[in-house]
Amino acid sequence: MIGRYGMKQVMLRNGINVPAIGQGTWHIGDDPHMHDNEVEALRTGIGNGMTLIDTAELYGYGKSESVVGDAIKPYDRGKLFIVSKVLPQNAGRKNMRRACETSLKYLGTDYLDLYLYHWRGSIPLSETVECLQELKDSELIRDWGVSNFDTRDMQELARLKQGGNCVCVQDLYHIGSRGTEYSLQPYLRKNSIAFMAYCPLAINGTLRSGIIGNPVLQQIADAHNSSVQQIMLAWAIRDGNVIAIPKSTAKEHTIQNAVAGDIELTDEELKMLDKAFPAPYKEVPLDVE
């Protein structure tokens, strides 16, 4: 059976519900000796309701997508939500279709639920949007979005002829990096665009220091009989428009991530966290690591 009863959902503007906690795959596939553990972790996530899996052609240049492909083989494809990303140098008319078809080959599927433009490069945004829309019209992808875009980027995107078809934006977001809250997330909510948070546990970045050992986080974790990491995930998805995609290569950690979706933080606890990790009071450059 796919799916864990009670997993919180986020509705995309196309009416599709996706789990508020999915699975990230950055660095998955890098070590071939970890293959079986990584497949088991992903399958554990699927079994616990984390049916959204995010990957990218950049991640091991196909190695991550291949692990995901192995992990999803036993499941009904229609009950999964698979996301991949196209590199900036491939995000134009010359290479995008080939890049997408290569990702599909590694994943062992004939379509992506969501295809993201990984970050902006030299190819005109209008050309990228046209190519993404052509992939959707060809049914190679169901929908498309963008990654590492700020508010100004989104406003530029909205001015393009088909820019309003973007259904999701993915950026770095965790309790120690709240820059997207100032203007980007309000803009996305206003325009019914979902927000996907990568590195919600601050595992891969330079901002982790001072978070995991924070006494306020620990106090709240103790009150919920949970870990600091679980509180970070519960905090990230608190508003109903955010999808968090933590990575796990161990079955036990994957289960802990899924259970975090059951944690309801009180208003008082949210105020405590706001004081310990203040939101920005002005526009700031977005963090990427």
Taking the domains of the chain in order of start, what are their residue ranges? 15-206+232-265
Q: Is the pLDDT of residue 218 over 90?
A: yes
Beta-bridged to residue 52, according to DSSP, are 81
Give catalytic status of residue 59 as yes or no: yes
In this model, does residue 66 exceed pLDDT 80? yes
In this model, does residue 182 exceed pLDDT 70?
Answer: yes
Q: Residue 3: is its pLDDT beyond 50?
A: no
Return the pLDDT at 97.
98
pLDDT bucket at 259, cuts 50 / 70 / 90? very high
* 253/120 Cα distance (integer angstroms): 33
What integer pLDDT is reported at residue 287 of this predicted model? 84
15-206+232-265 belongs to CATH 3.20.20.100: yes
Average pLDDT (212-238) is: 96
Report pTM: 0.95
pLDDT of residue 2 exceeding 90, the answer is no
